[in-house]
Structure 1
Amino acid sequence: MQWVDNRLPLPRLVYGAIGGGYPVPRNLNYWWNFGVLAGAALAVQIITGVVLAMHYAANGAVAFDSVEHIMRDVNGGWFLRYAHANGASMFFIVVYIHIFRGLYYGSYKPPREMVWLLGVVIFLLMMATAFMGYVLPWGQMSFWGAQVITGFFSAIPLVGENIRIWLLGGYAPDNAALNRFFSLHYLLPFVIAGVIILHIWALHIPGSNNPEGVDVKGEQDTVPFHPYYTAKDGWGMGVFFLIFALLVFFAPNMLGHPDNYIPANPLSTPAHIVPEWYFWPFYAILRSFTADFILPAKLWGVLAMFGSILILFFLPWLDRSPVRSAKYRPAYRIAFWVLVVDVLLLGYVGGSEATPKFLILGQITAAYYFAHFLIIVPIISRIEKTRPLPNSITEAVLAKHDGHGATRDGAAVPAE
């Protein structure tokens, strides 16, 4: 390894990035596992996707049959296809938890704004990749999902219809759209991997955040990443792959839609067109606008859907509280859990039929979603009375373990 390192300093790069040479706050809990789990999920998607691409045909006449060929005739093809389809769901699950962990512990605050911004870019790339991948099996939901989602671009004034035609390569989803989506679906995971490298690089400059939200004061506040957090991440990885295996082997179609096992038919519209479950909250926001007001309702829906993601880019400047962790922000903690419930309700509405009661519920929850970031968080950050922070990570850890809120020198610190 020394011989390699003297000629290609890759070993020292790995050691400095994830080995004993990288100091990490000593109090990270299991919510910090999900960044590593997201990387593992991406690796699963790339490996299975490359092999699946060897057998898939991006042609409207045979795309559906090529997927069935993979399932029935390719050795282990059923496993690869189910692992890839459910791997996308697992990827989104861990990323959503990763995002909400960042929201709770203030990981978007200075000096980690760039880490957060790159994370949102990764999320956008994931959504684009997942949407194009959902089209490729060329079942009923694939075809009509592409028809509906790309159709929303036509709501953009003047250039909308041209953008839609440019995206599809024609006036309706067909061979041109399949080829474009397949090409980009294959390419974008490698772009995501590149942005993840930037994400980790940006993280290593200020170092990891921690549950207390206080800065590292010295070596007593840190431990080497290896072996402490490689062991902890390894345990999390075992749980992750256990759940993943249960999903693939015992409920492989639980998160999919049965209509996608019907070949695409442009002359037969499904009764209820829905995207994959991880798009449901944004789909609910999209459907919440039902009346024209200055602009067409369809355009308002498109703007709101994209705005619901783009608003995350501005969060570091919307929340001006100097305290990072919600552990010491009682009002923000309540608002956070209300947001969690709100997003779950949006997901429920997005996966349900567009009946009047669900439209009203969707409008209320969509309004609260934007109010949380644009009104509630800025106000709370200015008027909230926060709890006193511990002087250091070590002080907080000792207080947690002695249970009495006092350190050896007798100074009072908040107990867990």
Structure 2
Amino acid sequence: MSFPWANQYQPQHPLMKWLDEKLPMPRLVYNAIGGGYPVPRNLNYFWNFGVLAGAALAIQIITGIVLAMHYAANAGVAFDSVEHIMRDVNAGWFIRYAHMNGASMFFIVVYLHIFRGLYYGSYKAPREMVWLLGVVIFLLMMATAFMGYVLPWGQMSFWGAQVITGFFSAIPVVGEPVRVWLLGGFAPDNAALNRFFSLHYLLPFVIAGVIILHIWALHIPGSSNPTGIEVKDEQDTVPFHPYYTAKDGFGLGIFLLVFVALTFFVPNMLGHADNYIPANPLSTPAHIVPEWYFWPFYAILRAFTFNFLWIDAKLWGVIAMFAAIALLFFLPWLDSSPVKSSNYRPLYRKFFWLLVLDVFILGWCGMSPAEQPYVIMSQLASIYYFAHFLIILPIVSRIERPEPMPNSITEAVLAKHADAASAATA
């Protein structure tokens, strides 16, 4: 964010001057997260989740590297190697549980980050590229998490891989060859396990690279803020350090407390008991479900139970599941309202909370058996999900009358403090 009033890095120590001339890393850090990066002065704690997502990725990479030192990507011994990590490796149980629950914490903060962006209109101009790169990160996370879920080679790992890759066979002509190519055979086995392990190890570093692009794209227009008003002068901003490093530090402390509590006290709460049973191709689990962060999309996948036109129901489900994510790429152009923040959009705000409720219903249906009433509920919830983005959002953005907005960020902040002072003296 290139503001004329941004502080410039001026090294004082001779060593720092020499380093700044030869390799200006301190200048880069100062301009990215220090006093040289002005940030809107009204950011609330919902702006912590980007930093928390970065912390979660760091935890996943560090614990994943350690786990890879002891894991054996062979169908005959993969399950036993995980048990070896849990029982025989020093602190292996902690590293494994931290990695397993770190994935859930990563998705929790990313989902909150996404919904914050939806509520405050962070996907709108001039931040479309920031949003698009964020959706790419989300897709890479889903691919990484799916392949990681296969690695323990328990019952749910094996059958999850069988079911999910089986949906590729619904694609006409090329579907079955693509599925065989992905698995390296006709069913999940050594080839699939090796491929998934190598990609699961590689993709977090790809995610880290896209995050760098994400942050770079963010620094061009600068951070959004709860009012949705762009920065106009120096009074609207404060330096990122120390104001928001302190705020992010507090949020990181809360995040780590929740993460540690989950890891130490209820490490298997978000997992599935069947995955502690070795994979058996001859014994199908009664109820095959993916990890909780896939449940809404799994519900959309299963919502299609009948053929329509010339397309098979199974293919409709695959199309709908990928379309549910692809819609997010077009969101900056589906919402044409000039007002960003839902704080000033009363009609959109109601539909936003309906969308949140709808996603929770989809998640509940995704974790439930494929039977009534969950099938009809997932069908209705899927219809609303697509209607929200393709019908409701474009119409609301045209007919809605926004509430009066402040002229600047500073005006909004001062008005908020004045209201608080009046309430305190009343």
Q: TM tier, shorter chain? A: over 0.9
Q: Alignment partner for residue 330 of structure 1, among 323, 329, 346?
A: 346
Maintained 8 Å contact 1:45/1:84: yes
Alignment correspondent of 2:260 = 245
Alignment correspondent of 2:141 = 126
Q: Describe the superposition over 1:245-266 as per-residue Cα deviations: whole angstroms up to 9, x where unpaired.
A: 0000000000000000000000
Q: Alignment partner for residue 73 of structure 2, among 35, 46, 58?
A: 58
Quote the offset at 1:3 in angstroms. 2.4
Q: Following the alignment from structure 2 to structure 1, what is the Cα–Cα distance between the partners of residues 129 and 331?
A: 12
* 1:229 partnered with 2:247: no
Aligned pairs for 1:9-408 (under 5 A) are 9-294=24-309, 295-403=311-419
Q: Describe the superposition over 1:121-158 as per-residue Cα deviations: whole angstroms up to 9, x where unpaired.
A: 00000000000000000000000000000000000000
TM-score normalised over the length of structure 2: 0.95
Amino acid at match of 1:371: A
Q: What are the ranges of 5 or more consecutive residues in structure 1 without an aligned counterpart?
A: 407-416
Amino acid at match of 1:79: F
Q: SS at 2:105's partner residue?
A: helix
Alignment correspondent of 1:413 = none
Amino acid at match of 2:380: I
Q: Following the alignment from structure 2 to structure 1, what is the Cα–Cα distance between the partners of residues 297 and 315?
A: 14
Q: What are the ranges of 5 or more consecutive residues in structure 2 without an aligned counterpart?
A: 1-15
Q: Following the alignment from structure 1 to structure 2, what is the Cα–Cα distance between the partners of residues 88 and 225?
A: 28
Q: SS at 1:272's partner residue?
A: coil
Q: Following the alignment from structure 1 to structure 2, what is the Cα–Cα distance between the partners of residues 244 and 163?
A: 38
From the superposition, tell whether residues 353 and 25 of structure 1 become closer, same or farther in structure 2 (CA, over 3 Å): same
Maintained 8 Å contact 1:399/1:405: no
Q: Following the alignment from structure 2 to structure 1, what is the Cα–Cα distance between the partners of residues 257 and 131?
A: 29
Quote the offset at 1:403 in angstroms. 1.1
Q: Describe the superposition over 1:179-219 as per-residue Cα deviations: whole angstroms up to 9, x where unpaired.
A: 00000000000000000000000000000000000010111
Amino acid at match of 1:356: Q
From the superposition, tell whether residues 404 and 185 of structure 1 become closer, same or farther in structure 2 (CA, over 3 Å): closer
Q: Describe the superposition over 1:216-270 as per-residue Cα deviations: whole angstroms up to 9, x where unpaired.
A: 0111000000000000000000000000000000000000000000000000000
Q: SS at 1:403's partner residue?
A: helix
Alignment correspondent of 1:412 = none
TM-score normalised over the length of structure 1: 0.97
Q: Following the alignment from structure 1 to structure 2, what is the Cα–Cα distance between the partners of residues 104 and 346?
A: 19
Q: Following the alignment from structure 1 to structure 2, what is the Cα–Cα distance between the partners of residues 404 and 240?
A: 28
Alignment correspondent of 1:411 = none
Quote the offset at 1:404 in angstroms. 8.5
From the superposition, tell whether residues 384 and 20 of structure 1 become closer, same or farther in structure 2 (CA, over 3 Å): same
Q: Following the alignment from structure 2 to structure 1, what is the Cα–Cα distance between the partners of residues 333 and 392?
A: 14
Quote the offset at 1:355 in angstroms. 1.1
Q: Following the alignment from structure 1 to structure 2, what is the Cα–Cα distance between the partners of residues 278 and 227?
A: 34
How many residues matched? Answer: 406
Q: Following the alignment from structure 1 to structure 2, what is the Cα–Cα distance between the partners of residues 232 and 290?
A: 48
Alignment correspondent of 2:13 = none
RMSD: 1.0
Quote the offset at 1:388 in angstroms. 1.3
Q: Following the alignment from structure 2 to structure 1, what is the Cα–Cα distance between the partners of residues 39 and 351?
A: 29
